[in-house]
Chain A
Amino acid sequence: MLHTINKSPYTKNSLDTCLRMAKEGSAILLIEDGVYAALTGSEITSTVETAMKKHTFYALSADLEARGIQDRVIDGIKVVDYAGFVDLAAENSGVQSWL
């Protein structure tokens, strides 16, 4: 299943709840303000790096670039464009849009 997160982990608990409920091996795509979870060297980084052992993380390039953080992304998070987002939605068995 593909999980999308569109909230900053600093203001909302969407990422935490997603990590509680996502099955091991899920794909997690950070979009909109959710891309702030991809920041390296932050207090969230270790949470995300631990979660990356169970899940594959992706971040939407357009939203990273819009926020000027495209060069500060945790190693191992795959950066995808909108076409890549569509592929992820199609390849996975379903989409859970955490709001």
Chain B
Amino acid sequence: MADEMDEMMEGGEIKKLMYMTRTAPYGTVYALEALEVVLIGAAFEQDVCMVFADDGLFQLKKGQNTEATGMKNFSPTYRALEMYDVEKLYVEKESMDARGMTEDDFIVDVEVKTSDELTSMMEDMDIVLNF
């Protein structure tokens, strides 16, 4: 697997890659499997950022406890993103305000960006991956 990845990554230019995640955790698997893509993607050493918009920002809510549902609480993994050099985490301000959330609600440090700011960032990307 490591050899395979080394081969894939050889000689390429660095691309700007945005992960856009807009789904809440647990109700569907998209958030968890998006996170798995981000962790694997880190090995490719591209210029990545992750945007949490709409219900996606609920993934970052502090105090998740999944014990009674029997599901795995994957929220601590967001804290590990920094170790994978995924450091640019953005929350859309409009989505955050609409849900009555503030930066203090999140388990990781994020940068709050307005939709206008995200517009120009998105236009600047080589790839946007949606989950």
Contacts and interface: CB of A to CB of B under 8 A. Distances in A.
Contacts of B66: none
B39 interface: no
A13 B128 contact: no
Interface in A69-99: 93-99
B128 A99 contact: no
Interface residues of B, number: 19
Contacts, number: 36
Interface stretch (B41-49, B71-79, B114-122): B114-122
Nearest to A96: B128
Contact of B127 (A22, A23, A94): A94
Interface string B3-21: 0000000000000000010
Interface in B88-131: 92, 94-95, 115, 118-120, 122-123, 125-128, 130-131
Residue among A93, A97, A98, A99 with most chain B CB within 10 A: A99
Contacts of A39: none
Given A17-B54, A21-B119, A21-B122, A96 B130 contact: yes
Interface string B42-62: 000000000001100000000
B8 to A, nearest CB: 21
B125 A94 contact: yes
Nearest to A93: B123
The 6 closest A-B pairs by CB, nearest first: A20-B115, A96-B128, A21-B115, A97-B130, A23-B119, A99-B130
18 contacts: A1-B122, A17-B22, A17-B53, A17-B54, A17-B95, A20-B94, A20-B115, A21-B92, A22-B119, A23-B119, A23-B120, A93-B123, A94-B126, A94-B127, A96-B122, A97-B130, A98-B130, A99-B131
Interface of A: 1, 13, 17, 20-23, 93-99
